[in-house]
Amino acid sequence: MKKNVGNADRIIRILLAAVFAYLYFSNTVTGTLGIVLLVLGAVFLVTSVISFCPLYAIVGLSTCPVKEQK
């Protein structure tokens, strides 16, 4: 797996995951939308930790600088 998620993208994904978790656990967003946000936040967190996004790979997109790709 080649890295295709750059540092700025990783930070944004982690922040969004934290916001989604806060919204869900503070009961600001509940029901189906809350669960969808929680799952999306988990996906963002996992893809930022492993620096690989399968959707980016399918589309051929990379936010990772060329020198960091391995």
Query: Model confidence over 22-37: pLDDT tens digits?
Result: 999 999 999 999 999 9
Helices (H), 1-70: 7-25, 31-50, 54-59
Give 69 or 14, the one with higher predicted confidence.
Answer: 14
Locus of tokens 């990379």: 62
Give 16 or 64, the one with higher predicted confidence.
Answer: 16
Residues ≥6 apart with Cβ < 8 Å to 6: 62, 63, 64, 65, 68
Q: What is the mean pLDDT of residues 5-23?
A: 96
68 has pLDDT over 90: no
